[in-house]
Structure 1
Amino acid sequence: MARILVTGGAGFIGAALSAALAARGDQVIAFDRSDSPALARNRACFPEITFRPGEITEWPHLAAAFLGHRPEAVVHCAAIVGVVAAQASPAATFRVNVEGALSVFAASRLFGARRVINLSTEEIYGPFQAPEIDETHPCAPVGAYGISKFAVEQLARDDVRRHGLPILHLRTCWVYGPGLPRPRVPKTLLDAALAGRPLHLAKGADFRVDHVYIDDLVAGLLCALDAPRPRFDAYHIASGAAPTLGEIVAIVRDLVPGAEISAGPGGYDFAPGVSVVQKGALAAGRARDDLGYAPRFDMRAGLAAWIAARHAGED
């Protein structure tokens, strides 16, 4: 049993991770600016989870949480997430994502944590130069979100060189599954199909990206926490495949008979005028060999699991 602090512990990923940690007997400190229904449900099931309110940009909040609980490991999930949100407020994005991460690293070091897991993103790469890339792909991020997350990785490496606290970066891709709050594919497609609403996307059917089911990401985070001697400081936690949006539409229509959903040809836009750069699949061989990570959900299996969770009232 370990004491583990999860920043962003009330969020989509943080709440799911907190439940998985508590289920195996760990003591979890879920640190976030406010509670959430998902975290409240998890706390009702697991007394091992403690909610600790606070802002990662406020040092007294962080210091009090670390001093009060003395976590042995930290999983840093808190961030302003996504290209559109970051583009809307670049200054706030850098304050939360960069300044906040530096404070988390400093608190981890000063209060005796033995390992930090930093949740990173494929956005640090910018446009993919191949259909499938590994962790050695050049980093040329585009926009405030990717640049801020790449800055965090680089500043963490400097921190490790100067102070020695192990900081691992888990780069994941488009995470989906029960609890996803953002109106993004495949959620928008599934929402429309299950509600019996027609939905036609004018473009995007040719766009490819690695979609990672939430249970696989959580499993990868647990692997990174438990790995005795990781050889690298960066690992992909992904499915290793990049279906097109058109293929995803076809899967949803097969899983939800009668669904009136479709997508026109071309690339995908996050929002009007905000196009997604070239993407693809993230090779996860390094995480498999070093961490023992093995994704269980391809796109069909993940969507089927999500639909089952909806029917069971878990989403």
Structure 2
Amino acid sequence: MRALLEARGTDVIAVDRVGVTGEGKPLTVCDVTDIHRLHAVVSGRDIGGIVHCGAFSGPMVERANPNAMVQVNIVGTANVLELARIHSVGRFVLCSSTSAFGNTVSETGPATEPIPEDVALRPSSVYGASKVAGEQLVSTYTQQYGLDGVSLRISWVYGPRRTTDCTIRRMIEDALAGRPTHMPFGRNFPRQYIHVDDAARALVAALDAPRLPRRIYTVTGGTYLTLGEIGSMVARFLPNAEIDLGLGSDPVDDVQGRFDIAAIERDLGFTPAIGLEDGIRSYAKWLSAHANGIS
């Protein structure tokens, strides 16, 4: 996303807890829980918009430390919203998650599909609940303080520089290393992936939109495939891949039906540009190059 913004001439203050990106570019070091440092970062600057992606990323992260999840994902979001309010930021975009929906498939079968944004949310993890809380904070700041805020519920992201758990990356890296991929679940488990570049484009579209007919949008890559089907796709590109998945659901993920992305297509002009096959193929080339020390 930084590259997209800088390529068009937008000045960007990129903030993270570490000092350098995966591309070797410098970052402004700051933790979202440090409200004083956040204000120091923007002091004296005219901030046109904030894209808030600073959070624990995924229900598999910090499962044994729910208090940390609350402090980073909820209190941290409140801190950045305060920053936006006090400094009169023009647009605030929250990187939320489809984990906010929770399980959409029950014992009686799947919910009506495709699933729109305006359904009852039933998060099944503290991570999912933290995203619901963040969305509600954005909505409340919009109503109470006039902040121009929007939340994007982004599905599972894959692609270059992802560092947290990613099944697609694991399958590719195992194949490149000549290792088999064995998982006790997933063959019939659906997951909706989106390439990191498409996720970045969606966030920029929300940042740029002249008006926001909605305050919450769902964003996926437009596919609905099982991990078994995705594994077969990886094996087509990497013939050495040996992928063995058992039946059943991911124990730390929700069972979800296909999400409706018509609203973001209609209102913000965003459609996913990178098909899953093309995305996996290019990701495999990227991982292979970086495994061999090629930048």
Q: What's the TM-score once normalised by structure 2's chain length?
A: 0.92
CA contact (8 A) 2:91 2:148 kept: yes
CA contact (8 A) 2:138 2:151 kept: no
1:188 pairs with one of 158, 170, 179: 170
1:106 pairs with one of 78, 82, 97: 82
**1:217 counterpart = 2:199:** yes
1:282 pairs with one of 241, 259, 266: 259
The equivalent residue for 1:48 is none
**1:176 counterpart = 2:158:** yes
Q: Secondary structure at the match of 1:309?
A: helix
Structure 1 unaligned blocks of 5 or more? 1-16, 44-50, 271-275
The equivalent residue for 2:108 is none
Moved more, 252-261 or 169-178: 252-261
C-alpha distance in structure 2 between counterparts of 1:138 and 1:147, whole Å: 13
TM superposition shift of 1:32: 1.7
1:167 pairs with one of 129, 142, 149: 149
Q: Secondary structure at the match of 1:117?
A: strand
Moved more, 127-136 or 73-82: 127-136
TM superposition shift of 1:37: 4.1
The equivalent residue for 1:11 is none
What is the CA deviation profile of residues 106-165 of structure 1, one whole-angstrom value per residue up to 9, with x for unaligned ones? 111111210000000011111014353121222111121111110111122121111111
Q: Secondary structure at the match of 1:97?
A: helix
The equivalent residue for 2:15 is 31
C-alpha distance in structure 2 between counterparts of 1:155 and 1:240, whole Å: 28
1:266 maps to a residue whose letter is G
CA contact (8 A) 2:185 2:245 kept: yes
C-alpha distance in structure 2 between counterparts of 1:25 and 1:281, whole Å: 37
C-alpha distance in structure 2 between counterparts of 1:247 and 1:84, whole Å: 22
CA contact (8 A) 1:119 1:170 kept: yes
1:177 maps to a residue whose letter is G
C-alpha distance in structure 1 between counterparts of 2:187 and 2:130, whole Å: 29
C-alpha distance in structure 2 between counterparts of 1:250 and 1:292, whole Å: 32
C-alpha distance in structure 1 between counterparts of 2:165 and 2:92, whole Å: 30
Q: Secondary structure at the match of 1:87?
A: coil
TM superposition shift of 1:311: 4.1
Identity of aligned residues (%): 31
Q: Which has the higher contact order (CA 8 A, sep 6+)?
A: 2
**1:21 counterpart = 2:24:** no
C-alpha distance in structure 2 between counterparts of 1:286 and 1:225, whole Å: 16
1:24 maps to a residue whose letter is R
2:54 pairs with one of 69, 73, 78: 78
1:132-151 to 2 correspondences below 5 Å? 132-151=114-133
TM superposition shift of 1:183: 2.9
TM superposition shift of 1:81: 2.0
1:305 maps to a residue whose letter is S
TM superposition shift of 1:243: 0.6
1:96 pairs with one of 56, 60, 72: 72
CA contact (8 A) 1:86 1:144 kept: no
2:241 pairs with one of 244, 256, 259: 259
Q: Secondary structure at the match of 2:84?
A: helix
Structure 2 unaligned blocks of 5 or more? 106-110
Q: Secondary structure at the match of 1:34?
A: coil
2:32 maps to a residue whose letter is I
**1:53 counterpart = 2:29:** yes
1:115 pairs with one of 67, 91, 114: 91
